[in-house]
Amino acid sequence: MIQVNDICKSFDKLQVLKSVSLSIADGEMLTIVGPSGAGKTTLLQIIGSLERPDSGSVIFDGEDITRLKDSRLAAFRNRNMGFVFQFHQLLPEFTLEENVALPALIGGTARGEAIAHARKLLNDFGLGSRLDHRPAQLSGGERQRAAVARALINDPKVILADEPTGSLDSHNRAELYRLFFDLRQATGKTFIIVTHDDTLALSSDRVIRMNDGNIIEDSAR
């Protein structure tokens, strides 16, 4: 489903990815682990088309996203990829339901339909009593669950998560694992997760270990 071919990326003189190749199957839950500075986030951002590589390609469901122009790429990304970051990145001035509806509104869904869908997702995630709250009124765990709802609103094929449990305490971390595993069971979506969290890595289908811009271990091989 996703084919990463010979990706190189440098920031100034620092080579962060050194010809990385990887293929990811539909429905796989893959974690990317390794020390700080190994290039994990950069690889995730290139797969998610948030960053462009210097060379190499990313083929996503048959489409070479590294060749798409910015305007088409933004629409492709909004339709096909859902993002969860370490810090929820909900917009403080919007209510929870508006935050979750936002990617659907950007994709052209009518407001009523987008809000209705957002409410359903938030209800499913136990946040039905928080629909008109602002992010600042929620706990860290609630905010992160809302961020997962936002990632799902356009029914993307892939969820990309960067340290999704990094800002949570152990109770909320356990809840987020459960949410991811339930979603994976229920939806068959592909998950690509950068994490320092051993529990999450050990429960995934496949662990990619990176060091110094290279993949040094792939548990699928």
Contact residues: ligand ADP, CB under 6 A = 11, 14, 16, 34, 36-42
CA geometry: angle 124, 25, 38, nearest 5 deg: 90
Nearest approach, Cβ of 16 to ligand ADP (angstroms)? 4
Nearest approach, Cβ of 180 to ligand ADP (angstroms)? 19
Nearest approach, Cβ of 41 to ligand ADP (angstroms)? 3
Q: Which is nearer to ligand ADP, 25 or 216 (CB)?
A: 216
Q: Which is nearer to ligand ADP, 42 or 204 (CB)?
A: 42
Q: Which is nearer to ligand ADP, 14 or 25 (CB)?
A: 14
Q: Which is nearer to ligand ADP, 42 or 190 (CB)?
A: 42
Nearest approach, Cβ of 96 to ligand ADP (angstroms)? 29
